[in-house]
A = this chain, B = another copy of it.
Amino acid sequence: MVTKVRTLSDLAKLAGVSGSTASRALNDNKLISAKTRERIQKLAAQHNFKINTAARNLRLKTSNTIAVVMVKSSELDQSITDSFLLNMVGIIAEELSRHGFDVLLVTHFIGQTTSLDEYFTMNRADGLIVFGQGDDITAFNQLFNHLNPIVVWGEQSPQNDYVTVGTDNVKGGYLACQHLVQQGCQNIVFSGVRSFETGKRFEGYQKALKQANLKVPLPLDIHFTSEDAYKVTLELLKTKQFPYDGVVAASDNIALGMIRALHEQGVSIPEQVAIVGYDDIEVCAFTKPALSSVHQDIHQGGKHLVNCLLDLLAKKPVESVQLDTQLITRDSSVRNPK
């Protein structure tokens, strides 16, 4: 009702003190008498005063901001539309807000001129949470090693200095493939490009095949969209080059695209081809047939990403986290339900 209190000196004037005192009072500095502190804080609340972030950040060389970065290795990389990642981003954003941080959403192309460390040098972010170790591991590694507070969603590796949070991809790939073997599949293909992370899934898949003395067919190069999976699969089917009776897909979206193509060509699932996806996105339970998938818990993942970053910011020692993973079997892969 009275005058607008925009700046700290407005508030100070109103309280009849200097700017320094007002500043310290709001920051609960013990230099200021408890009485004054309380008085000023109350006044600030009454007048709905909010500190100016830009000024504060400039002075303190901080940002109070966490950048959530989606690294895209190419324009083709559809990570930003991947519902698994987006869901996790949503969870993280909410969690960070709760801790009082601003969340900056960034899409970054590998090879782009602006470098990510600019976020630190220019005090644009106090920390980074990164998605998409991407297809080009070396470029990525180079980007992050030795940098400030960074947590990466993905696969950990001794070559990396940065902290990672992720699931056990080798185990995931192994479980998926082993399950298909148990269902009697003889010719199981891995479907999806092998990035750093999905490469680990491929490893696990290979391990299971070798254990069963089955051959490892050449994997299918499919990008992370239903669309691409659909196209590639349809092409193979039409040219009679789809000899597989089992598929371990690198993501649920890939699995869904393939299922669609297989359906269209009259291939029955899981009888002729059994298929397992990866991520266990919410819709797996609703697809036709319901999609077996390797579960990655986004809530747990999001929480760990945030916690690790907060610990890094607090200079606490932080270890990379590898979450457990588990296979959820549904109709798309189970051939003989008891």
Is A297 part of the binding interface, using a Cβ–Cβ cutoff of 8 Å? Answer: no
Is A121 part of the binding interface, using a Cβ–Cβ cutoff of 8 Å? Answer: yes
Is A1 part of the binding interface, using a Cβ–Cβ cutoff of 8 Å? Answer: no
Q: Give every chain B residue within 8 A of A122 (Cβ-Cβ).
A: 50-53
Copies of this chain, complex-wide, total 2
**A and B contact pairs by CB, cutoff 8 A, 30 listed:** A6-B121, A48-B115, A50-B114, A50-B121, A52-B58, A52-B122, A52-B123, A54-B124, A58-B58, A80-B90, A81-B87, A83-B83, A83-B86, A83-B87, A86-B89, A89-B105, A93-B105, A93-B106, A93-B107, A97-B107, A103-B105, A104-B104, A226-B282, A259-B286, A260-B285, A283-B283, A283-B286, A286-B287, A287-B287, A288-B288
Q: A residues near B, CB below 8 A? A: 6, 48, 50-55, 57-58, 63, 68, 70, 80-81, 83, 86-87, 89-91, 93-94, 97, 102-107, 114-115, 118, 121-124, 226, 256, 259-260, 282-283, 285-290
Q: Give every chain B residue within 8 A of A94 (Cβ-Cβ).
A: 80, 107
Report which of B91, B102, B260 forms a contact with A80, defined as CB distance below 8 A: B91
In the complex the two chains form, what is the Cα distance from A187 to B89 in whole Å? Answer: 40
In the complex the two chains form, what is the Cα distance from A107 to B58 in whole Å? Answer: 25
In the complex the two chains form, what is the Cα distance from A66 to B45 in whole Å? Answer: 26
In the complex the two chains form, what is the Cα distance from A124 to B288 in whole Å? Answer: 46
A283-B283, A286-B288 known; A118 vs B50 contact (CB < 8 Å): yes
Separation in Å of the A87 CB from the closest CB of chain B?
A: 6
15 new A-B contacts at CB < 8 Å, known A81-B87, A81-B90, A86-B89:
A50-B118, A50-B122, A51-B122, A52-B122, A54-B124, A55-B58, A68-B105, A80-B91, A83-B86, A89-B105, A93-B105, A93-B107, A226-B286, A260-B286, A283-B286
Q: Give every chain B residue within 8 A of A87 (Cβ-Cβ).
A: 81, 83, 86
Report, nearest first, the 3 A-B pairs whose CB atoms are least far apart.
A288-B288, A86-B86, A80-B90
Report which of B80, B106, B290 forms a contact with A288, defined as CB distance below 8 A: B290
In the complex the two chains form, what is the Cα distance from A63 to B53 in whole Å? Answer: 10
Name the residue of chain B whose CB is nearest to the CB of A225: B282
In the complex the two chains form, what is the Cα distance from A282 to B107 in whole Å? Answer: 22
In the complex the two chains form, what is the Cα distance from A91 to B286 in whole Å? Answer: 25
Name the residue of chain B whose CB is nearest to the CB of A6: B121
Q: Give every chain B residue within 8 A of A260 (Cβ-Cβ).
A: 285-286
In the complex the two chains form, what is the Cα distance from A83 to B82 in whole Å? Answer: 9
Q: Give every chain B residue within 8 A of A86 (Cβ-Cβ).
A: 83, 86-87, 89-90
Q: Give every chain B residue within 8 A of A48 (Cβ-Cβ).
A: 115
Separation in Å of the A92 CB from the closest CB of chain B?
A: 9
